[in-house]
Amino acid sequence: MKSVIQNIFIAVVSAACTFLFMQRFYQLPQTVAQPAATAQPLLTGQEPSGPMPNSEAPINQRPRAWAESPIEDFVNTSKLVTSAVVNINTLSASGYRVSSGSGVIIATDGYIITNHHVIEDGAKYEITMYDKRKLEAELIGSDPTTDLALLKLDVRGLKPVLYGDSDKVEVGQWVLAVGNPFNLSSTVTAGIVSAKARNINILRGSYSIESFIQTDAVVNPGNSGGALVNEKGELIGINTAIISESGGYEGYSFAIPANLVRKVVRDIREFGTVQRAILGVGIAEVTGEIAQQQALPGVAGVYINSVSQGSSAAEAGLREGDVIISINNASTNSVPELQEQIALFRPGDKISLEFYRQGQKFRRDNVVLQSLSEAGSR
């Protein structure tokens, strides 16, 4: 009898504890942890994991990473950008398709930016708009050294993507890639900025500029020339290449920074070709050994291994062994960063630069940049 009473008592206590626990559980839904979410360079013309907060919970009670995330704005950003990204079919004179890719409307009067490799070897350019209209575009100009090209539609009243400041892009920030991979029109993918100022040695030519924004947003053949935008829908890059052993996306995609895109577009519109300025130096990355030899505060900057006679650098008093650390107060911690900064200027423009020489920091203002033709004539 005593044993029966003990068993009944234990059962009652257990039921009471279970009731109190379930009551507590359902009264505080915002604190309940949710299950985790499922978790060779090629030119591309050819939901994060972690606990998801309860949507009804006050924002200050949600996990910090989600409270500050722009994910809730991805829908609005996608609507803002997709209508300004077009599909491009590059055709031969006989109408045979040479290549296809994407393009971004950057002006209300029909200007479209894309990659040079999307339009090269073509004679006609068929544009498919977001609303399925098919129009023919005129090639205004292209630049293989930056892999950019400018097309023009004879239309008005278009809604362009606005430029953002690619210099302010930070590693880890969210981005969206918009394009037409495998002719799947208006495809939007999301990721983060994985790195900046990447050189993957994919562009040919001595004066090619590679200072790519690297992302893990999914980019595949057909995305070339498409938009890389920030959470505000501002253009921060033109998707250009992937690194892949299979020919498809493997986690590494690269975009041309928007500040360089803007400069190239401005040059092509005004002159039909890019106006390239040069400093007139041979450059190399700073190594630990160089940093020690030059008494640098850190392993950063761009080492000058030669200075051309009569060049802008020579006239500014730069010497072999100097290490450039900034152009117009923009840090140049690597060769791609220096090349990108110089590429933002035209011949005749004046810049300020800072450099180290034997452990001492110097500054030169009003350094006049020269053109390729000027440097070649000396």
Residues annotated catalytic, as ranges: 117, 147, 224
Token readout for 177 is 């890639």
Alpha carbons 36 and 49: distance in angstroms, whole number: 6
Q: Could you give the angle at the alpha carbon of 178 between the alpha carbons of 176 and 55, nearest 5°? A: 45
Token readout for 283 is 């450059």
Alpha carbons 325 and 300: distance in angstroms, whole number: 7
Alpha carbons 352 and 139: distance in angstroms, whole number: 36
Q: Are the C-beta atoms of 378 and 283 separated by less than 8 Å?
A: no
The 3-state DSSP class for residue 364 equals strand
Closest CA to 167 of 325, 351, 366, 344: 344
Alpha carbons 33 and 37: distance in angstroms, whole number: 12
Token readout for 85 is 């990204």
Closest CA to 324 of 376, 292, 288, 282: 282
Alpha carbons 200 and 186: distance in angstroms, whole number: 27
